[in-house]
Amino acid sequence: MNELRDLLTRLVDVEPRVTASDMLEAAEQRARQLRVRRTRRRFVAAGTVAAVIAAIVIVVASAADRGHEARIAVEPAPSPTTGTPAVAPTQQYSVDATVLQDPTHGPELCFAVATSLPPQCKGTPIAGWDWRKVDREESVNGTTWGEFHIVGTYDGTAITITQPATAAHTPPPVKLPSYKTPCPTPSGGWTVVDRSKYSIDAYNAFANAARSQPDAAGLWLDSATPVDGKTDLFPAQVINVAFTGDLDARRAELRALWGGPFCVVHHDRSMHELELIVQTLNGEVGRDLGLQNRSASIDEVNDDIRFDAMVATPAAQTALDRRYGAGVVHLHGLLTPVP
């Protein structure tokens, strides 16, 4: 650990040469420039749209004059080929993600991208996409990509654009999870009781023992709670371990291995149980509920599971609550319904 820490410390050993107030002032000036550029682009786009509408009106009017039925063709979205997706085809959704087109496929919406040059991904096809109508795309060796804010409908197979795509919104502030130690603070605070068992090796032995128990339900470190009166880097952290069985027995076993502070708590579900639930979610349960792009991850701190699907519906969440119990699986939609 020390080698890597030393290396990283050397890398970030810099002192700001510009004061915070000068930096803020320069950034505000640059932000104003960016706003002006964005406004100009909107004027140009609006002018283009007006010209296109005028052209369509002329074409439709001339066709009607000729006595023909005039229609503007809209490319139909492909039909779903498998499963019964839990989506309403007329519902509009928004999403901020990567759009990538390469020589093997058209524009596709990707939530996971291999960061090679050019990047690679395989995602959901997008109907109605036009690279000429967007900014900030990049192209290398026949692959074009960029991050965009998209609004459109989703039929279970493809997204059909219903509004011009714009630059991807900066992600919302991340709500960081809490790793707070759930046990009450001992009188005198959390302390190291045996320095001979307070090393990386001792921690590894502790963690291996905790994780290998059949009722193991989670392990996390709390770096915010002071140890011996101060907060410091690992290993000066309170280790939290969760089990579903006899907590006193586990506490005694682990104390024999680790001289630092730790907290043992009860969880209702073991890691093994949660892993089995994840398997079913990624398999038949996800399929039966029509949930696509499924991925599930276990939250060891909160004893639950986050389940990402292309579209999350209240009905699907209710079905998951009925099957696994309320609050066990939290369904999260990658596409956000537009009210």
Partner 1 sequence: MGGTDEDLFADIYPGLVRFAAAVRPVGIEPEDLVQEALARTLQVHRLHDLDEPATYLRTAMIRIASNLQRGRRRAVARIGRLEHRNETLDSYPSELADLLRLEPRARAVLFLTVIEGEQYRTAAAIVGCSESAARTIASRALHHLRAHVSAELDAREAT
Query: Would you tell me which residues interact with partner 1 (CB under 8 A)?
Result: 1-5, 7-18, 20-21, 23-24, 26-28, 30-31, 34-35, 38, 115, 117-119, 136, 138, 140, 147, 169-171, 173-177, 179, 200, 204, 207-208, 220-221, 223, 232-234, 237, 295, 297
**Closer Cβ to partner 1, 84 or 297, answer by number:** 297
> CB of residue 135 vs partner 1: minimum separation in angstroms?
10
**Closer Cβ to partner 1, 58 or 133, answer by number:** 133
Rounded to an integer, what distance in angstroms lies between the CA atom of residue 194 and that of residue 279?
41
> CB of residue 243 vs partner 1: minimum separation in angstroms?
20
**Closer Cβ to partner 1, 9 or 48, answer by number:** 9
**Closer Cβ to partner 1, 135 or 194, answer by number:** 135
> CB of residue 331 vs partner 1: minimum separation in angstroms?
16
* Residues sharing a CB contact under 8 Å with residue 123, sequence separation 6 or more, in sequence order: 98, 100, 108, 109, 110, 111
> CB of residue 252 vs partner 1: minimum separation in angstroms?
23
Specify the DSSP class assigned to residue 131: G
Residue 252 C-alpha from the chain's centroid: 38
DSSP annotation string for 96-118: EEEEEEETTEEEEEESS-B-SSS
Nearest to 240 by CA among 220, 216, 257, 254: 220
Residue 270, classified by CB atoms within 10 Å of its CB into exposed (0-12), middle (13-18) or buried (19+), is buried
Rounded to an integer, what distance in angstroms lies between the CA atom of residue 119 and that of residue 183?
46
> CB of residue 176 vs partner 1: minimum separation in angstroms?
6
> CB of residue 336 vs partner 1: minimum separation in angstroms?
17
* Residues sharing a CB contact under 8 Å with residue 80, sequence separation 6 or more, in sequence order: 155, 156, 157
**Closer Cβ to partner 1, 295 or 336, answer by number:** 295
The 3-class secondary structure across 168-195, one letter per residue, is CCCCCCCCCCCCCCCCCCCCCCECCCCH
**Closer Cβ to partner 1, 30 or 272, answer by number:** 30
Rounded to an integer, what distance in angstroms lies between the CA atom of residue 231 and that of residue 171?
30
**Closer Cβ to partner 1, 118 or 128, answer by number:** 118
> CB of residue 25 vs partner 1: minimum separation in angstroms?
9
